[in-house]
Structure formats: structure tokens, C-alpha cells
Amino acid sequence: MTRRLALAWLGLLVVVAFAADCLAADRPIVYSRAGDLTWLPGAGPGGDDLRATLGDDDWALWPPIAADPLAVRTDGELAPLAAPSRRHLLGTDDRGRDVAARLIHGVRTSLRAAAIATTLALVLAVILALVAVRVGGATGVGVLAACDVFAAAPALLGAVAVGGLTGARGVTALALLVAVPRGADTARLVAASLRATLAEPFAAAARAAGASPARVLIRHALPHARAGLVAASAITAATTILAEAALSFLGLGAAPPTPSWGELLAQASQHELRWWLMLPAGLATTMTAAALLRLART
């Protein structure tokens, strides 16, 4: 995957996450009834109930996929594991919910988990690295040794193991499971970069000019660790995407009925690998992780 393609795919996911309610929902984007224009209605009738109240002079603009990701019935009928059709472009899951709608809204789950985990890992890494380098001595060695312990196990396997043992569920719990080991691993990288930068002539010049050690560390050394932090952030986000899919596959991911790519993959494994459950969610997960890892190499 090229860098341009990776950026395009990630940009598309961000747009889909923000516009999910306009892409897949049982409520119109905008409708006019009795001369009153209503945008993105959050309450009141929707779906067939709204259609029944629209007169000849009324109109509504519906999302491309006019289906609620949480609704188990379509036109009053329950159709679990239905194959793709004009009504359900990617079929339905084992509860009769539209797969295309859940795939689109699942983008929010994955990106929210990745954003939380990446932010927490970055904050943790910077704090630990600054403490280790600024304090130094036995304390600094101890901080980095603790980072080595937490970073020894792969973040993905650690998240799956801890999630299975504790039963922790939800996007925030998942983000914490990934953020701690990834933050510890990133802290070692940042600390090494800070120490190398502090040995540069411009850092010595700043100290000679009267800058305090803390100012030299934060104002002059920390910005030089930016490239490493960007790469580590991309790896953390990719790890979170994969961990979300793995934990949801094991029934430990986002709490039902939250749409999730991993949940679709879990259903596929339970129902004879129905391709409309497996293929779209698997491709979305793989391409997102691959795009993030591609950015980490730049």
C-alpha cells in the first residue's frame, strides 16, 4: 500500500465516521412536511412511520442505506442471516440487523478506540520519558526498567489476555489495555531520543545561555522526538484496531449492541463463515491496520 493510498483510506474512514448518520440510518437527512423543513431529526417518527405521515406535497431525502444499525426488523419482518439483496446490500446478521449499516457505524467504534488509546499512550510515554531523563540516576533507571517490563509482552496479545481474565469491556477499557504497554514501549524510544538530543551542541548552547534544564528538555529536546512519536502513534492506532477486532471476536469487545467490525467477524465464525459477515469487516480491519502501519514507516 502506498502512502497516498493509506492517507486516502484513513481520510475516507474519518469522513464516514462523522457522516455515518447521513450514510446509514432509518431517519431522513432532511424532510419537508407541511412546509416545515427539518434537518437530521433526532426524535419523532422515523422509517415507515415517517413515510406514512408524508403527504403528496411533502418529501424526504433518505440516506443511501435507509436502515438502522440496531433495528432487528425490516418492515415488521425478522430476517436473520439474510443474503445480500436490494433491501439489504450486504445482507443481515444473526439478529436481522443490516450489515452495511453496522459496518458503517462500526467505523466510529474502531476510530474512537484508536484515538483514545493513541492519546493515552502518547501522554504516558512523554511523561515517563521526561521523568526518566530529567530525574536520572536510580529513579530514571527504575522508570525505564518498569517500561521494559510492560513493553516486553506484545500489546495485542496483552490486551486479549487481560481482557479475557478481567472481563473488561467497552471502548475505554480496550483503549486502556492497549495504551499502557504501547505507552511504555514508546517511552523508551522518546527517552533515547531526548538523551541523544541533549548531547547536541545546540542543547549545550542553550544551557550556556542560562536556560534551565527543564526548559532545555521540553523546549529544545522534546520537539526532536516528534518523528518517533508520530510513528509510534500510528503503530498504537493499528494495534488498537486489531485488538478491538480480536476482543470483539472473543466476545470481550464493545458492549452489545454497539456496531463493531470484530462482532461481525465473530458472527461469521459462528455461522459457517457467511461471506457477507466476514469479507467486508475483514477487509476494513485489514486495510485500516495496513494503512496505519504504512504511515508508521514514513
72: Cβ contacts below 8 Å, ≥ 6 apart: 78, 95, 96, 97
Answer whether residue 41 shows pLDDT above 80: no
In whole angstroms, give the CA distance from residue 243 to residue 239.
Answer: 6
Fold for the domain defined by 101-296? MetI-like fold (1.10.3720)
Q: What is the model's pLDDT at position 111?
A: 92
Answer whether residue 249 shows pLDDT above 80: no
Q: What is the pLDDT of residues 127-143, one digit of tens each?
A: 999 998 888 788 888 88
Answer whether residue 293 shows pLDDT above 80: yes
- Under a CB-based contact definition with an 8 Å cutoff, are residues 163 and 173 in contact? yes
All structural domains of the chain with their residue ranges: 27-62, 101-296
Question: Could you tell me which residues are beta bridge partners of residue 37?
Answer: 32
Q: What is the mean pLDDT of residues 207-216?
A: 81
Highest mean pLDDT among 168-182, 190-204, 247-261: 190-204
Cell of 91: 445482507
pLDDT-based confidence at 100, cuts 50/70/90? very high
Answer whether residue 251 shows pLDDT above 80: no
Q: What is the model's pLDDT at position 205?
A: 86
Residue 192, Cβ density class (10 Å: 0-12 exposed, 13-18 middle, ≥19 buried): middle
Q: What is the mean pLDDT of residues 175-192?
A: 88
Q: What is the model's pLDDT at position 149?
A: 83
Chain-centre distance for alpha carbon 235: 12
Q: What is the model's pLDDT at position 98?
A: 94
Question: Residue 96 phi/psi, 5° resolution?
Answer: 90, 10
- Residue 133, SS3 per DSSP: helix
Among 37-41, 60-64, 102-106, 183-187, the range scoring the smallest mean pLDDT is 37-41
